[in-house]
Amino acid sequence: MSIFTPPSAVSASHAPTQHKSAQSRPAFGLTPARLVLFSAGYFFLVLNVALLAKLLGIINALDQVSPGFVLTIPLFFVACFNAIFSLFTVFRCEKPVLIFFILLSSLLSYAMYNYGTIVDRDMIVNILETNAGEAKSYLNLTAGLWFVFTGVLPAALILKLHIKRSTVVRELLMKLVSIIVSALVILLIATFYYKDYASVGRNNAYLNKMIIPTHFTHSLYGYVQDTYFKEDIPYRPLGEDATLSAQSPDSRKQLLVLMVGETARADNFQYGGYERDTNAFTQPLGVTYFQQVSSCGTATAVSVPCMFSRLSKSDFSDTQAANQDNLMDIVQRAGINTLWLENDGGCKGVCERIKTIEFKPDANTPVCDGDYCQDQVLLDGLSAQLDQLSEQNNMIVLHMVGSHGPTYYKRYPAEFSHFQPDCQRSDIQNCDARQLNNTYDNTLYYSDYIMSKVITLLKQRQNLSTGMLYVSDHGESLGESGLYLHGMPYSLAPTEQTHVPMLTWFSDAFVADKQLDEQCLRQDAKNSVYSHDNLFDSILGLMNVSTDLYQAQLDVFNGCRGQGRIALNQASSK
């Protein structure tokens, strides 16, 4: 620029630049403290809609309620969220922290509001062990819209939002003030309404597990601590003394087939008094049904390792169980040929050290759809193995896909749509109760067919001494009390998720060999109370495995055995 340029020209030449700068400034923005406060309100009013609905139901059911208590509930939760998020964002990281928790909480709120799912540590384990096919079964239009409107759009708004920054010291001071004010609000509410909050909390202890995202964050922290930051547990061999206590006087090879069901609840089994013919195929085959059996957990990731572990439900630890031998290891060590046929996406570590055949969902077969295979593949697999038995003593586990939801309609072929109309969708909360129950009952109807075909295959092998034991890993909720699927914390879980079916069938040769009194067994099965804790010792007993680990009082067959049982007891006590 020339030194002779008039001042007016200088002013004019700079004017467009100043105007452009003014236009580039966002017209709207929030201070960090206000962004956190508004987000706290969003978390309570939108993302905690399931908690809010539950609270309204509890308050409506109270005989007397203080209006002041009701009015302070939003203030209390917003103050709590505000204080927590203020602490999490002290390093000017409001956007990434809030976006992460909003997206995560959107998914959690969908599961909680629509299915009644509470995500605790056990559920986190279950989620992390979910395979791609299972995860895809939860994808539907309802879930997608929920995630877009409650998660993606608010997150995008925050991403685009202009944050009005100040000095670091001033921002920290404002966060401190915000936390102090939140604490004072909480303290003031507690001063006047502590008894009301304490009463509702004490009588509804599960409410704290419904708060999103605090309970999930706490559970995730516990899982990470246990998984990655605890001292490694040395692997512990068990049952190193395991041997076969008695050889069968019958020259026939012995085979026990253990069928591990998936998501079958006892309430819908015809044998337990259900009015529908869900057990039409096994009814003529002389099975023994156990009326009262409870599961170790409410999800596969807990129940399957637990039922095969020496640990009981009361002292079960997934970490401990993964670092010691299980039932299959001990049975194999005793000299029994063991095989695991897998059709449920994984054995949760139980079959890690034995021969395993896993059926791939992408196999080119009509019963596999790329995500799951129907349980017909287990029949084909078992039939092939029966022709190859070379050992005297054998045990084969069939891990079924059974009644795995929410896409129940994919678990059975069209010709097994026995109960109509069924629910041909994955957002099962949008099906009416009749359709949902029809679809679920069809899965049990088909599973019963699979069991009957297993029994038929075994009956046809007159050269074998055979037995079959079926037990489900956990149950399922079908809309009762607003709950769907499974995985509730055990202390809160309804019986629909913990009461599981168990049944047995034994050939005449197997009964004679084990000296079983089947009439005695049917009586016990009808009147006694059992759980997954009984499986470990019951299998050891049936397979004549002698080891110091064996506990006769937990063997469901022990009281109905003859001299063979006495001999095993004597061998185990040596």
Residue 245 in any domain: the answer is no
Residue 17 in any domain: the answer is no
Residue 407, domain CATH: 3.40.720.10
Residue 10 in any domain: the answer is no
Confidence of residue 120 (pLDDT cuts 50, 70, 90): confident
pLDDT at 247 over 80: no
What pLDDT, on a 0 to 100 scale, did the predictor assign at position 342?
97
Query: Among 295, 304, 290, 278, which residue's Cα sits nearest to residue 499?
Result: 295
Same structural domain for residues 426 and 552?
yes
Same structural domain for residues 215 and 74?
yes
Q: Among 16-30, 145-159, 206-220, 427-441, whose mean pLDDT is lowest?
A: 16-30
Q: Among 22-26, 56-60, 214-218, 474-478, whose mean pLDDT is lowest?
A: 22-26
Same structural domain for residues 56 and 170?
yes
Same structural domain for residues 51 and 193?
yes
Q: Are 142 and 114 in contact (CB under 8 A)?
A: yes
What pLDDT, on a 0 to 100 scale, did the predictor assign at position 24?
54
What pLDDT, on a 0 to 100 scale, did the predictor assign at position 241?
96
Residue 174 in any domain: the answer is yes
Query: Among 50, 357, 89, which residue's Cα sits nearest to residue 213?
Result: 50
What pLDDT, on a 0 to 100 scale, did the predictor assign at position 527?
96
Q: What is the pLDDT of residues 235-245, one digit of tens each?
A: 999 999 999 98
Confidence of residue 90 (pLDDT cuts 50, 70, 90): confident
Task: Give the residue-averaged pLDDT of 366-379.
Answer: 93
Confidence of residue 9 (pLDDT cuts 50, 70, 90): very low
Residue 233 in any domain: the answer is no
Task: Give the residue-averaged pLDDT of 438-452.
Answer: 98
Find all residues with CB under 8 Å of 399, minimum gap 6, and list them.
Answer: 260, 262, 304, 340, 341, 342, 343, 344, 347
User: Residue 530 belongs to what H/E stretch?
Assistant: strand 529-531
pLDDT at 538 over 60: yes
Residue 329 in any domain: the answer is yes
Same structural domain for residues 69 and 163?
yes
pTM: 0.87
Same structural domain for residues 102 and 201?
yes
Average predicted confidence (pLDDT) for the chain: 91
Return d(Cα 5, Cα 271) in angstroms, integer.
Answer: 102
Same structural domain for residues 208 and 261?
no
DSSP string of 388-449, one letter each residue: S--SSEEEEEEE--TT-SS-GGGSS-GGG--SSS---SS-GGGS-HHHHHHHHHHHHHHHHH
Could you tell me the residue range of the domain that residue 258 belongs to?
Answer: 253-573
Query: Among 391, 262, 253, 233, which residue's Cα sits nearest to residue 320?
Result: 233
pLDDT at 108 over 70: yes
For the chain, the domain total comes to 2
Same structural domain for residues 158 and 75?
yes
Task: Give the residue-averaged pLDDT of 211-234.
Answer: 88
Same structural domain for residues 281 and 329?
yes
Instruction: Examine the fold and report which residue of 195, 228, 261 is the final residue of a domain before the chain moves on.
Output: 228
Same structural domain for residues 278 and 426?
yes
Same structural domain for residues 315 and 443?
yes
Q: Among 47-61, 219-233, 426-440, whose mean pLDDT is lowest?
A: 219-233
Return d(Cα 214, Cα 51) in angstroms, integer.
Answer: 12
Residue 73 in any domain: the answer is yes
Residue 13 in any domain: the answer is no
User: Residue 81 belongs to what H/E stretch?
Assistant: helix 67-88
What pLDDT, on a 0 to 100 scale, did the predictor assign at position 387?
87
What pLDDT, on a 0 to 100 scale, did the predictor assign at position 123?
86
Confidence of residue 25 (pLDDT cuts 50, 70, 90): low
pLDDT at 226 over 60: yes
Same structural domain for residues 393 and 275?
yes
Q: What is the pLDDT of residues 347-368, one digit of tens each?
A: 999 999 999 999 999 888 889 9
